[in-house]
Every structure is written in structure tokens, then in C-alpha cells.
Structure 1
Amino acid sequence: MILALEYHRSPGRFVAARGLTSTRMGSRLSGMVAGNVAPLRLVNRQAPELPGDGWTRVTPILSGICGSDLSLLTGHSSPYLSPMTSMPFVPGHEVVGRTMDDLPGVPKGSRVVIDPVLSCAVRGMEPCRWCASGQQSRCDHVTAGRISAGIQTGTCADTGGGWSRQMVAHASQLHVVPDELPDERAVLAEPLACAVHSVRRVPIEPNSTAVIVGAGTVGLLTLIALRELTQVGAVYVIAKHGHQKEKAKALGATAVIEPRKAVRALRRVTTARMHTPEMGADFLLGGVDTVFECTGGASGLDTSLRLARAGGTVVMSGMPSGGVDLTPLWFRELELVGAYCSGADGADFADALRLAGSAPLDGYVGTTYPLARWREALNHAADSGRLGSVKVAFDLAR
């Protein structure tokens, strides 16, 4: 038996959580809701079994709490994803851990990070068109094969997840961590790989302009990827909290802007024209070449669409929630691009591990919690911006 945080389907709790966090006090209530209303429980459960050859048991060391996890627990994840999960599952897809079984090239006891996508190779199936081309995040077979439905580790009943003492992973998911890379940096490899993937989803022309909406984990890591992997010119970051502004400046942001001042500030630096509609927020005619929406919120996407120039691109890096007025998409002929997980047949993870070692990430994982203090951990993660944290994680050794 292993200790694990287990998510189980409960429509009543899902609706209750969504209703509470949709109020004016929703942002302050989200941590409390995640810990007390969400269908999550600390249990002793059977350790997951190895589904077949090429699999290993993994003992998590650190496992991050992601914004998509919080969206699920507070009732804001889309029902669209429900057929692609299997219950009950153990959340946690940002994992650094140690293998418990020998695999070719990955001996027992290796420290690894996990690509969470449960692709054709993981499921023992002939590769679909996307897996065959190295774009596993687009896999068409996430509900088929030798394991239960699940778009990734942390949503599948058979694999377990990082919020537990033990899980299983397929060899194709494993990336060995360099000895010199501390656990606190290695646990950022998965969100870094997602940031690398989002930057590679669109062409970034040399000296072009970009905006990053949101300076939480996703936004800051996207800034690192932009600066390290492209020849982008000016990068403006919209940040809400003081510590986020300081970190964005340290990572090379051209300027950091408060959300309420974003449109006016970008009007000045891009020489665009600002307009104020009868209802709704201000927008620009003109604007920036590429906008990365990194909050997952409806207001973040709404802002992004209002800042992009005609023919520009908006990349959705945060998991979306809520409805948005898409008129700018139509009128300005924008490109709206999704960026889910990582791809490039492992190249994104390789670059993420390299960046995790070289980028100024000390202190990004500033607070960790044992599983027994899970309510406190979720409350902290939900309010991390105000509390001055970037990434909150579970320490499975405690």
C-alpha cells in the first residue's frame, strides 16, 4: 500500500467548487475550495502495477502543483476533457523521481523527469500519424491501448501520479537528470519543456515584438525560452505581483507592465492607436507581432486578442477556461494557436533540462510540503502570486 492523493469523480463537488470560485472572492477562495470542497482525498491505496515490458516503477522525489491541477480542483477545467481521463486517478505530472526497475539505458535508481504524455508507445499501439512524426502531444489514441484513458500521467487510473509515494512510467517517457542538476530545478523541466514547445509552435521572426500575458510559472518559463531559443526583439511582460515583475526583469523582459496599464503602455511603445468600445476593454489597432497567453483565464485571452496587430499571432499556453469575445480574431485576421505539453520527439525536454541548469531559477521552487499537509499546499499554490512564490511542490521524501 502507498500513500497518495486521489481524485474521484463527484459532479456535486465539481459544481460546488466552480460556484464558489466564480464569485467576486473567487481567487481568495480557490485554495480553500481545492482543499475542502474538491473531490480529493488522502488514501492508502494499492501501488499501480507495471502494465508490461518497458515500464518501471518510479518513486517521486518532488512533484509540482500546476495551474491545470488547480483548475481541475476548483471546478474550472473544461468538460471536454472528461472522456480522456479515468477514475480514480492520482494527480501530479511535474515529477522528478527515481526508477525502481532496470530498463535499457535507464538502470534502477536513475533520477529521472517524466514526459507525462501517454502516447501510442506508452499504450503499446502502432503509432498514429502524430506519434510517427514525433508530435506525441497530439496523439489520437489517448483513450485506447493497454492502459486506461488519460491524456497524461496524473489523469490515468493505471499509471498513478506524482502526488503519491509510487507511480509507473514507460521508458519512452523518461529523461535522465544530469547529476549536477538539483531536484528543485529538475522538477521545473516539465513546465519548461511546455514553454519550449509553445515558443516553437509559431515562427518568431528576428527582432519581432512579443507580449507575455501572465508572469506565473508558465509566463516566466516562456520568457526564458523566448530569450534563449529565438532572436525575438522586444518582449513585454504583463505581471500582477511585485516579485513576478522583478523576476521578469531579471530574465530579460524589455519592460514589465501592470495588467490595468497594458493597453496604454503598449500603445506608446508600438505607436498603435487605442480605442475604447461602448462595452468591454480597450484595444489596439496596431500592436505586437506575437502574444503568449500564459494565465489560462478568460481575461488573459481577451487581453491577448486586443494587443495583437492585424495578422498577428496569439499562442494559448495556459489551459483555457471561460468564454471570450472572439471579434478581434475575426476582424484583425489573427492566428490563434494552441500549445499543449511538449513535442519534438524529446528535443523539447532535452532543451528544458539544459535550460533548467543554466537559467537563473534558484528559489523558483521555494516551498515544499509533505502529502499530509496537502490542504495547506493547495491553498499556498492557489495564492502563490500574492505570497511571492513561483512553484509549490510536494516533497515525497517527507
Structure 2
Amino acid sequence: MILSLEYRHSPARYLASRTVTATKAGSRLAGMVAGNMSPLRLINLAAPVPPDEGWTRVAPRLSGICGSDLGLLMGRSSPYFSSLSSTPFVPGHEVVGETLDELPDLPAGSRVVLDPVLSCEPRAIEACQWCASNRESRCDHVTTGAISPGVQTGSCAETGGGWSRQFVAHRSQLHPVPDSLDDERAVLVEPLACAVHAARRVPVPTGASVVVIGAGTVGLMTLLALREIAPTSPIHVVAKHGHQQERALALGATAVHEPSRAARALRRSTKARMHSPEWGAEFLLGGVDVVFECTGGAAGLDTALRLTRAGGTVVVSGMPSGNVDLAPLWFRELQLVGAYASDSGGPDEVARRSDFDEAIELAGAAPLDGWVEPPYPLRRWREALSHAVDAGKLGSVKIAFAPGKD
């Protein structure tokens, strides 16, 4: 038996959480997520069993708490995903761990990071069109094959997840960690791979103006990836908290702006015209070329659409939630592009390194010291989740579990 945090879906609790989170914020919200309304419970579960010889058991060393995890617990995640998972499951997909079984090219005891996507290869089925072209994040078979439905480890009942002392993973999901990369940096590799993927989703021409909405983990890592891909472009960051603004500037942001002042600041830098509607936020005619929405909130996407020039592009890399006025999308003929998870190299005609290979290299070189707070044991899960909900206000970037700690 292994100690685990198990998520049990309850439509009644989902609706109740959705209602409460629509009106609460900050510490009150944190109390709700970690309190009696939480769909999580700390229990001892039977250890998951590797489905076949291509799998191994993994003991997590650190497991991050992602914004999408919090969205699930708050009832903010879309019901769209309810048929793409199998419950009850153990959350946790940002993991650095140690393998427990021998694989042909991966000895037991290897330190690895997890690519959580449960695509065709782990499911032991013929590759769909997306997996065949190395774009596993688009896999069409996430509910079929040899294991239970689940878009990722952390939403599949059969595999377990990182918020436990053991889960199982297929060899194709595991990336060895170099000795030079400590656990605190390694646990950031998965979200960093997602940021690399988002930055690659659209071309950023030389000199194109770019805005990143949000400077939490996703936003800061997207900025990091963009600085590698578009080193000469002006990149503005819209950040709510002072410490986020400081981190963004340290990572190479051209300028940072508070949300309430973003339109006015970008009006000047892009020579756009600003308009104030009878209701709703200000918007630009003119504006920036490419905007990356990294908050997952309705307000962030609304801001992104209002700052983008006609014919420009908005990349949605935070898991979206809430209702948004799409009038700017229609009126300015914008391109709205999704960026989900990561892939292993893209289509053959655009051959490149995998997002994880790029992320591992970037994690070793980037100024990430102090990004991961001292980790919590699973038994202190309520404190950990409360900290994660209030991370922005408290000056934190990444909150994680150390599942092996007592």
C-alpha cells in the first residue's frame, strides 16, 4: 500500500466549488480548496502495476502543483474533460522521480522527469495521425487502448500520479535527468517543456511585438522560451504582483505592466489608438503582433484579445476557463491558437529537437534558483494547496510535494 492523494469526482461538489469560486478569492478560496469541500482525500492505495514490460514503477522525489490541478479542485476546469479521464485518480503530472524497475535502456534507480501525455505508444495501439508525426499532444486515442481513459498521468485511474509515493510510467514518457540538474530544477522541466511548445506554436518574426499575459509559472517560463526563440523581439509582460514583475525583468522582459495599465502602455509603444467602450475594458485599434495568454482566466484572455492588432495572433497556453467577449476576435480577424502540453519534435518537414530536450537544457542554464519553495510532505497537503492558491500574493512561483517525506 502507498500513501496517495486521491481525487474522487462528484458532480455535486464540482457545481458547489464552481459556485463558491465564482465569488471568493485569496485565502478564503484557499480554505475552500483544502477544506471540507475538497474532492481530495489522503489514503493508502494498492500500488499501481506496470501493464507490460515497457513500463516501470516510479517513486516521485518532487511533484509540482500545477494551475490546472488547482482549476480541477476549484471546479474551474471545463466539464469537457470529464469523459477524457477515469476516476478516481491520483493527480500530479509535474514529476522528477526515480525508476524502480529495469528497462532495456533505462536501469532501475535512474532519475527521470515525466512527459505525462498518455498517447498511442503507452496505450499499445497503432499510432494515430498525430502520434505518427511526433505531435503526441494531439493524440486522438487518449480514451482507448491498454489503459484507462486519461489525457495524462494524473488523470488516469490505472497509472497513478505524482501526488503519491509511487506510480507507473511507460518508457516513452521518461526522460533521464543529467547529474548536473538538481531536483528543484528538474521538477520545473515539464512546465518548461509546455512553455517551449507554446512558444513554438506560432512563428514570431524578427522584431515582432509580443505580449505575455501573466507572470506565474506558465508566464515566466513562456517568457524564458520566447527569449530563446525570438531574442530580438520586444516582449512586454502583464504581471499583477511586484515580485512577478521583478522576475520578468530579470528574465529579459522589455517592459512589465500592471493589468490596469497595459492598454495605455502598449498604446504608446505600438502607436495604436485606445478606445473605452460603454461597458468593459479598454481596447486598442492597432496593438501588438502576438499575445500569449498564460493565466487560464477569462480576464487574461479578454485582455489578450483587446491588445492584439488586426490579423494578429493570440496563443492560449493557460487552460482556459470562464466566459469571454469574442467580439475582438471576430471584428479584428484574429487568429486564436491553442498550445497544450508538449511533443517530441513536430512534423517531419519541421524537424527539431523535442520540447523536453529543449526544456532540460534550458532548465540547466536559466536563472531558476529559488523558484521552488521547500516541498511539503503529502500529509500536509492542505497547507500545500493553500500555499499554491496564494502563491502569487505570497511571492512564490512553484509549490511542490516531496511524496517520500514523512
TM-score band by shorter chain is over 0.9
Equivalences for residues 106-185 of structure 1 within 5 A: 106-185=106-185
Q: Secondary structure at the match of 1:12?
A: helix
The residue type paired with residue 31 of structure 2 is: M
User: Do structure 1's residue 360 and structure 2's residue 367 form an aligned pair?
Assistant: yes
Structure 1 stretches of at least 4 aligned residues deviating more than 3 Å after TM superposition: none
TM-score normalised to the size of structure 1? Answer: 0.99
Distance 1:353 1:257 in 2: 30
**2:280 paired residue number:** 280
Q: Secondary structure at the match of 1:311?
A: strand
Q: Secondary structure at the match of 2:146?
A: coil
The Cα shift of 1:367 comes to: 3.0
Distance 1:106 1:3 in 2: 26
Equivalences for residues 146-225 of structure 1 within 5 A: 146-225=146-225
Q: Secondary structure at the match of 1:56?
A: strand
The Cα shift of 1:354 comes to: 0.3
The residue type paired with residue 394 of structure 1 is: F
Distance 2:229 2:170 in 1: 29
Task: Report % sequence identity.
Answer: 66
- Partners of 1:369 and 1:394 within 8 A in 2: yes
RMSD (Å), alpha carbons: 0.9
- Partners of 2:27 and 2:386 within 8 A in 1: no
Equivalences for residues 48-67 of structure 1 within 5 A: 48-67=48-67
TM-score normalised to the size of structure 2? Answer: 0.97
Q: Secondary structure at the match of 1:364?
A: coil
CA offset digits 1:318-374 (Å, max 9, x no partner)? 000011010101111100000000013471000000000000000000231000000
Distance 1:238 1:60 in 2: 34
Q: Secondary structure at the match of 2:399?
A: strand
Distance 1:202 1:352 in 2: 18
**2:377 paired residue number:** 370
The Cα shift of 1:232 comes to: 4.5
Q: Secondary structure at the match of 1:155?
A: coil
The Cα shift of 1:18 comes to: 1.3
The residue type paired with residue 245 of structure 2 is: K
- Partners of 1:30 and 1:382 within 8 A in 2: yes
The residue type paired with residue 28 of structure 1 is: S
Distance 1:219 1:367 in 2: 21
Distance 1:363 1:149 in 2: 36
Distance 2:71 2:294 in 1: 14
**2:100 paired residue number:** 100
Q: How many residues align?
A: 397
Distance 1:337 1:101 in 2: 40
Q: Is there any run of 5+ residues in structure 2 with no aligned partner, and where?
A: 346-352
- Partners of 1:205 and 1:232 within 8 A in 2: no
Distance 2:32 2:337 in 1: 31
The Cα shift of 1:111 comes to: 0.2
Equivalences for residues 39-54 of structure 1 within 5 A: 39-54=39-54
- Partners of 1:32 and 1:379 within 8 A in 2: yes
Taking a change above 3 Å as real, the CA distance of residues 12 and 232 of structure 1, as seen in their structure-2 partners, is farther
Equivalences for residues 19-58 of structure 1 within 5 A: 19-23=19-23, 25-36=24-35, 37-58=37-58
